[in-house]
Amino acid sequence: MTPFGDRMRKLRAERGVTLKDMAEALGVSSAYLSALEHGKRGRPGWHLIQRILAYFNIIWDEADEVVRLARISHPRITIDTSGLNPKATELANRLADDIGKLDPATLDELLSTLGRKRQRPRG
């Protein structure tokens, strides 16, 4: 499941909406919506995201968060490390090999480390 799919499932559960009803309202198949929630389809397009936001009446910061989750929810990514430090290539390959074996605490730790690096001012 992707971060976006997890959020959609929680929104549906909180509001008592079935997959079938949501899919019908959005003009997509329930199979597609299910695949999107489970990470078996790529991230949704901008227009579908907008329809989802309108469907759930999501605005402001919560809407920004849903858009952010959609952006980081492509289940199959490509990392181009050409021209980078060889350690970047090693990291990308090791992560690809081992990500399925990492427990949630380790994933949180890695995400936290990357978040701290992003927040540091560059000098």
Q: In angstroms, rounded to a whole number, what is the distance separating the alpha carbons of residues 33 and 44?
A: 10
**93 close to 65: Cβ distance less than 8 angstroms:** no
Count of beta carbons in the 10 Å neighbourhood of residue 80: 9
pLDDT in tens, 53-95: 999 999 999 999 999 999 999 888 889 999 999 999 999 999 9
Both 7 and 30 in a single domain? yes
pTM value is 0.75
Q: 8 is in which domain, residue-wise?
A: 3-71
Say if 15 falls within a structural domain: yes
pLDDT in tens, 5-59: 999 999 999 999 999 999 999 999 999 999 999 989 988 999 999 999 999 999 9
User: How many distinct structural domains can be found in the chain?
Assistant: 2
Give the CATH number, domain containing residue 37: 1.10.260.40
Domain final residue, candidates 71, 94, 111: 71
In the predicted model, is pLDDT for residue 121 greater than 80?
Answer: no
Both 15 and 53 in a single domain? yes
Tokens of 119: 């927040």
Both 12 and 59 in a single domain? yes
Residue 102, pLDDT score? 96
Both 94 and 65 in a single domain? no
Residue 123, pLDDT score? 54
Q: Can you list the positions of beta strands (E) in the chain?
A: none
